[in-house]
Amino acid sequence: MLLHIPNVLSADEVAYFRSRLAGAGWADGKRTAGYQSAQAKDNAQLPEADPVARELGGRVLDALGRSPLFFSAVLPRRIFPPLFNRYAGGQSFGFHVDNAIRYERGANGAQVPVRTDVSTTLFLSSPDEYDGGELVIQDTYGTQRVKLPAGDLVVYPGTSLHEVTPVTRGARLASFFWTQSLVRDAGQRRELFELDRAIQRLTVAAPGDPALVQLTGVYHNLLRRWSDA
């Protein structure tokens, strides 16, 4: 499932992110790529331990906590700490599939595996600020070209083949991260999301309808069956 979630960050929040990123210590993005991905990757990225990356990553997580749509669609179990990248001067990232497992550093220094069920890109540059830089995603639903307003994000299956096209004018700033979902299977997550949205619409259209109790029970019983929590 590919889903556009608008206004995850407000205009003021985007402006703050941009001001912090303007003087950040960008590094070659190839340093964080696997062998195959490094052959296609040409961008700048904030190191994971950079204080700006840690601060803004925490703010991204706070913003996600205010987004019921994100939680309904993704059903997060663990979110890999958000990272930040920058494309300019013709930089791009050719077609690739994200690594199946990322390792987050735990409180005691241990490496904690995070299965990358869902990929997310949070746009921090407005579309009119740069040319190119589209996120092109190929999956069973076809090929989608994504270029969203600043503060909006897109979620899509981590199994998808995707690329970022060359940025030929301006700069494209974004945050990106992965989520290990409570429900591993993308088709099952989509069915639960559609059921949850239907329940929410029925709650508004027909509050007190006995069908709401039945549908809510179906939702939670399916989640109980499919979850690997």
Annotated binding-site residues read 96, 98, 162, 172
Query: Is the backbone of residue 132 left (phi > 0), alpha (psi -120 to 50) or beta?
Result: left
Q: What DSSP character marks residue 154?
A: E
Placement of tokens 């069915």 in the chain: 191
Annotated binding-site residues for Fe cation read 96, 98, 162
Annotated binding-site residues for 2-oxoglutarate read 172
Angle, alpha carbons 53-56-57 (nearest 5°): 75
* Residue 107, C-beta contacts closer than 8 angstroms, at least 6 positions apart: none
Angstrom distances, CA of residue 167 to CA of 63, 93, 196: 27, 10, 38
What single letter denotes the amino acid at residue 158?
G
